[in-house]
Structure 1
Amino acid sequence: MNVKEEIEVYVEPLRSEDVEVSVKEERECNKHDQDFSWNIHVVSHQHTQVEEKPYQCNRFDIPFKQEGTFIRQHETHTEEKSYQCNQCEKDFSSNSNFIQHQITHAVETLYNCNLCDKAFVLNSALIRHRKIHTREKQYQCNKCDKTFSKKGKLIVHQRIHTGEKPYQCNQCDKAFSQKSSLTEHQRIHSGEKPYQCNQCDKAFPQKSNLMEHQRINTGEKPYQCNQCGKTFSLKSNLMEHQRIHTGEKPYQCNQCDKVFSLKSNLTRHQRIHTKGLVAPEWTKKGKIEKKY
């Protein structure tokens, strides 16, 4: 037999009577009066009709097909509730439900980072966050001695030196070095105040504004001066205070050579140039003596 003959023998179709017998034997469902064209169809049909569910809940009459589903359902009845809220003494069997519940007490008990303005619902989250401040900072600014753990933060920082402000408001001429600053600024135009105090009706455009406001009610002053021990409710106030010790005066008048430690003092001074007024002088007692 040559190759051609072998191929012809291989592809020769089955006899019609053979096909009829083999299909007829397999295509009929033994539980339902229903016929199928192919064996695979009847098998698929039988699986949908007779679905084995060997796992039975002994508390509720519910069968389960998969062991994992049965175990998870069973644990809701038998699992010990080992997570207790220290605010209201509610018990929870799963850590995720416990964490979700604690969010309801979020504003009442915030854990504040003493190195930045961030606050957290859970103390464990604050501990994780603090690692950001302590981790190795391999990206150093070539203009000053500041270092950063991420390259992106270095790029944003360098805009302080370059003056670059790539994010511009489409409502006014103001531009910003960070996108988040632009987003917060745009709320001035939209009037949006998404952060509301749970103690009063006041709302704020920025989360930091809400936190500052809440410290007025609590009297909390988390920022402490390492030179004299004085504490402040705002980080910005601490930084301004520390200039008393360092003598730093970063705010310079663009009309004359005078420099100031506080931006508010510079603003007050600049009115001399814009309104033609004589500068008031501060006495040692802190009272203003005006010169005319």
Structure 2
Amino acid sequence: MALKEENEVLNEIKKEDQYTNHHDFKTEEQSFSCSQTETTSIQERAQKSENISYFNCQDCGKSFTHKGSINRHMKIHTGEKPYSCPQCGKDFHQHGGLKVHMSIHTGERPFTCQQCGKRFKRIVNLDYHMRVHAGKSPFTCHQCGKNFCRKGTLDYHMRVHTERPYTCPHCTKSFSQKGKFEYHIRNHTREKPYICPQCGNGFIQKGHVIDHIRIHTGEKPFTCQQCGNSFRQKGCLNRHMKTHIGEK
């Protein structure tokens, strides 16, 4: 059994052992401990896990339970990228990666938050977003107090305070985040990688093509809760909201 799976089984045993709180039950012949029966069950599951066949990657040692999974993984080592984007030619190891990438060109965001209407390309991003509504932001920046749902997002944010690793070769301006750096570079090169599939107009930023596509679709996802007016862009909704509170 691979080390990773073995550790997972041991961790499961430790967790389940926490629930063996001296709860005993009796029969006419003898008294049995819950801890005894649960330990037996855990051992049986551990034995079953040991009987699973694993496919090991000869390059990095990573283990898989399905042959198809290791075949997909091996493309990372071989450099094989059989899935190509028909719009920009970018290649991908897996079809799933191409599918996510295509939403850059189409603007498709099929996963919608039922509470605020915000839309996402991937369901995992929607799941993380839902933590905001649930108040689950356990990762806090100790320098500015901002909270984050994911540790990776906090680590990314910390660059604002600690480093600016991305430097523009055209004007030497530095950036803490790769996305902002790439957007800045396009201001020099005038590259417009985000293409509207309906009219062919190109845009420097992904958000711009998403807003533009709504002109074709008529979609207005941002709705005023006070009067029901809807808007294509969140900024337009924010400006509209000021009319209700008397701001200018």
Higher RCO, 1 vs 2 (CA within 8 Å, ≥6 residues apart): 2
Q: TM-score, normalised by structure 2?
A: 0.47
TM-score by length of structure 1 reads: 0.41
